[in-house]
Copies of this chain bind each other. A is one copy, B any other.
Amino acid sequence: MFTIAIHGGAGAVSRQTIAESEDPIFREGLHAALNAGYAVLEKGATALDAVEAAVRSLEDNPLFNAGKGAVYTKKGIHEMDASIMDGSNLKAGAIAGIRNVKNPVSLARKVMEQSGHVLLSGKGAGEFALKVKEEMESDDYFYTRLRYDQWLKVRHTDFYHLDHIGDETPDRKFGTVGAVALDQHGHIAAATSTGGMINKQFGRIGDSPLIGCGTYANDETCAISCTGHGEYFIRAVVAYDVSCLMEYKGLSLKEATEKVMLDKLKKMQAEGGLIGADAKGNISLCFNAIGMHRGYRKSDGSSYVALYGDE
């Protein structure tokens, strides 16, 4: 038994906000990422390899706010965050505010494996990227017309927001990406990657690169990747909360993810979603937003890709 699940962000994802012509393009992107991760699992590689492969696929896709499709900060640059965690040994790596790195999730993995640290940030993280010869791209690579236009509209204001929440900008592309997986060896892993908030300033860091908040993995409980209004997800320590509800209260993956997303976060008026996997092969795709780009593929032949809340 092996499984992979992914998300491409949660928020105002509906048939009103996504044009009919764009709908299949999003689904194709999700399928491609699932298949990238699944192929890794199928040949017997680790869950860690699989979540990295799936997230790289989403990072390379300009449809999603991570890697190539990252939003612009107030200064008109791209500052990206990513994290990865291995449920077999609780090792983790993350980067915050990185520039010009093609695949932030792969740099997060190198932080885990080569730095002796868990979280590197900013210019210093950029120096680490050069040291480990991480693949870099010029600012031009990260240019996308839609993201640039979004930024032009708000750059002279103090307005910032998640790229997928609110009606203030005509944004129909949706947030943070992530993956969770179970491999043939019974191990699980999680990874998350994001461009953060449009027009963000002051070196703001959300939940995506924070272990326990946006990402967590432990073979004994679950692998979790979150998306949503990061400040709330930090205060609620969301990913680790799901794990603790399973470990300390004996809840199932489904019960724990629903308790956190549909009860606790809803009471905080925190919008978003998460995906989870456990070592038994269960998957949870849970969100309290209108919709979430999501999907899974399992070795029993079942698979699923969806955008809206009603499918």
User: Contact residues of A with B, CB < 8 Å?
Assistant: 85, 90-92, 96-97, 115-125, 127-128, 160, 201-206, 210-213, 216, 230-231, 234-237, 240-241, 244-245, 248-249, 268
Contact = CB atoms under 8 A, between A and B. Distances in A.
Main secondary structure of the interface of A (DSSP, over half): mixed
Contacts of A212: 210, 212-213, 234, 237, 240
19 contacts: A90-B235, A90-B268, A91-B235, A92-B235, A116-B231, A118-B234, A118-B235, A119-B204, A119-B234, A122-B203, A128-B203, A211-B235, A212-B212, A212-B234, A212-B240, A237-B237, A237-B240, A241-B244, A248-B248
A202 B237 contact: no
A160 to B, nearest CB: 8
Contacts of A206: 119
A122 B119 contact: no
A96 B121 contact: yes
A74 to B, nearest CB: 9
A249 B245 CA distance: 9
A307 to B, nearest CB: 29
A124 B203 contact: yes
Contacts of A213: 211-212
Contacts of A123: 122-123, 203
Contacts of A240: 212, 237, 240-241, 244
A121 B124 contact: no
B248 A118 contact: no
A117 B210 contact: no
Given A90-B236, A128-B201, 4 more contacts: A117-B202, A122-B122, A122-B123, A216-B237
A48 to B, nearest CB: 15
A210 B6 CA distance: 26
